[in-house]
Amino acid sequence: MAGERSDEILVVGGGVVGLTTAVVLAERGERVRLWTREPAEETTSAVAGALWWPYHIEPLALARAWALRSLDVYEESAARPEVTGVRMVEGVLGEADLDGADSWLAGRVPELRAATAEEYGGVGILACLPLIDMPAHLAWLRERFVAAGGVVETRTVSRGFPEADAPVVVNCTGLGARELVPDPSVRPVRGQLVVVENPGISTWLVSGTAGGEMAYFFPQPGRLVLGGTAEDDVWSTEPDPAVAEAIVARCAALRPEIAGARVLAHRVGLRPARDRVRLEAERLPDGRLLVHNYGHGGAGVTVAWGCAEEAAGLVPG
């Protein structure tokens, strides 16, 4: 096509999946450009909690394999948390059972054990898992990409990616894929968070309640992130004060000191859910190769490296 740069790969999407995919390709020796609609700190990825855990993603068997590959990378990255934003932090996965559906972790994370009654008032697993400070991590990914020779451009695309002037285009547009592919099976799952001053909590906790609502808190540098919600097909990005109040109340029921913590910010993100992750290549009528890597739901951070490597494998070397 006119203007095509025959030896470059174009990655579209500047969230954690797009950045990670771009890093993998650039460090493989490819010439890569990344187009992003907004800075990384304004993407859905920046809002994430972000605990390594395959949440709200299908197919689960593949998601677990991608997650375990990503775990390898995050464990290595945690050696430099001040640079990468990745720390290994202990916490409790409530309503999880090592003898049940969560037994897949036991062989990979040997220090897993059942939570005691003092640690959690129900069935749960105590685990040391990656907890990622997303603003720091996204900045590090971008720096790593640029250091590998990558170029970041602020650009938008329209349906069918006609502006993408490269023979290989990697679609990491998340929820944007709904209109750009177009793929109406991609839908939002709204998540609302409350960021408060940390009253001295050093461990994380994820809990389900009798009403099916979630409560979780993640200690991040300089703050404690409280959550959360999972509202299917809700597009609003405006924080709801009543929802925020309920989030704080649910978290305070688990750790009373949260009740008096000063609120620093309210955040809303739209998880890009799909019945299953789309990770495949297609040849467009004009000859371009379009590689799809989207639909990761609430687990983009968790599976980013596994999916990035699989997507890179679909690009001719």
**CATH (domain of 191):** 3.30.9.10
Same domain, 74 and 15: yes
For 123-163, the pLDDT digits (tens) are 999 999 999 999 999 999 999 999 999 999 999 999 999 99
Same domain, 169 and 141: yes
Instruction: Give the residue among 214, 209, 205 at the shortest CA–CA distance from 257.
Output: 205
For 84-117, the pLDDT digits (tens) are 999 999 999 998 888 876 778 888 887 899 999 9
| Angstrom distance (rounded) from CA 262 to CA 162 | 48
Same domain, 210 and 264: yes
| Angstrom distance (rounded) from CA 220 to CA 128 | 15
Strand 204-208 with 86-94, pairing: parallel
More confident residue, 84 or 54: 84
Same domain, 15 and 78: yes
Same domain, 36 and 117: no
Same domain, 118 and 260: no
What's the total number of domains in the chain? 3
**Token digits for 19?**
């950045």
**CATH (domain of 289):** 3.40.50.720
Residue 202 belongs to domain spanning: 187-273
Same domain, 168 and 288: yes
Same domain, 164 and 97: no
Q: Is the pLDDT of residue 307 over 90?
A: yes
Same domain, 172 and 77: yes
- pTM, two decimal places: 0.95
Strand 31-36 with 113-114, pairing: unpaired
Same domain, 203 and 258: yes
**What pLDDT, on a 0 to 100 scale, did the predictor assign at position 263?**
98
**What pLDDT, on a 0 to 100 scale, did the predictor assign at position 4?**
47
**What pLDDT, on a 0 to 100 scale, did the predictor assign at position 101?**
65
Instruction: Give the residue among 273, 279, 272 at the shortest CA–CA distance from 315.
Output: 279
244 Cα distance to chain centroid: 22
Same domain, 146 and 65: yes
Same domain, 163 and 59: yes
